[in-house]
Amino acid sequence: MHNKLKKLQVAIFISGRGSNLESLIQSSFTKQSLVEVQLVVSNNSKAKGLTIAKKNKIPFIHFIPRKNFENKVMKYLKNIDIICLAGFMQVLDSKFVRHWQSRLINIHPSYLPAFKGLNAQDQAIKAKASYSGCSVHYVSTKIDSGKIILQKKVKILKKDNTESLSKKILIEEHKVYPKALQMVAKTLLTRQQ
């Protein structure tokens, strides 16, 4: 008898472009993937990422305005095991964060704990840092402060500006996020056994 492993169900929250969404979806299509992307949630009806969900035939919803977002979205997450924030530019309330503890992850475009918050790439350039990077971390009630799952450094050259650094970091984000998601899925599956 061959028992097919049940894949963990993932919801991805976005606000804009959705390039990390795309890389997470593509990597979920590989045979070894432990996850399936079941739902895309946006807090912006004009997010470009929604067209990526459509193209890949993944159900999506969007909520506006911000008010009561967490309560409204909860009923769509009944079969979801993991939530990935991918360029989701809204702070989730602490009740929601606690409910999803160890199943809610985020990618941030810096080598945390440096340059938390908005415009992390710009912060790194302005600080004249010699490197920055990207970090995938568990979401905690303090912004960009949860336990790190995986991170990658990116060198900053003298000629770099915010745009060129963002591009270099994004290339790494697209590799790091799918890997980190598999690590989280593995941890959860091991716990379930």
Q: Which of 16, 133, 146, 178 binds ligand GAR (CB under 6 A)?
A: 16
Does the protein bind ligand GAR through residue 132 (CB under 6 A)?
Answer: no
Q: Is the dihedral of CA 94, 21, 103, 122 positive or negative?
A: negative
Nearest Cα to 69, choosing from 78, 61, 58?
Answer: 61
- Sketch the per residue contact string, 64 through 93, with ligand GAR: x for CB under 6 A, - otherwise: ----------------------xx------
Q: According to CB under 6 A, which one of 12, 109, 139, 168 is a site residue for ligand GAR?
A: 109
Number of residues that bind ligand GAR (CB under 6 A): 15
- Active-site residue among 2, 62, 99, 108? 108
Choose the stretch contacting ligand GAR; rule: CB under 6 A; options: 10-18, 31-39, 62-70, 185-193: 10-18
* Contact (CB, 8 A) for 38 and 9: yes
Q: How far apart are CA 90 and CA 85, in angstroms?
A: 10
For residue 107, the cross-strand partners are 136
Distance (Å) of CA 156 to CA 126, 129, 131, 185: 11, 7, 5, 32
| Closest C-alpha to 51, from 73, 88, 25 | 25
152 binds ligand GAR (CB under 6 A): no
Active site residue 137: no
Residue 177 is classified by DSSP as H
Q: Give 80 or 109: the residue with its C-beta nearer to ligand GAR.
A: 109
User: Which of 10, 27, 108, 150 is close enough to bind ligand GAR by CB under 6 A?
Assistant: 108
Site for ligand GAR, rule CB under 6 A: 14, 16-20, 49, 86-87, 107-109, 120, 170, 173
- The residues annotated as belonging to the active site are 108
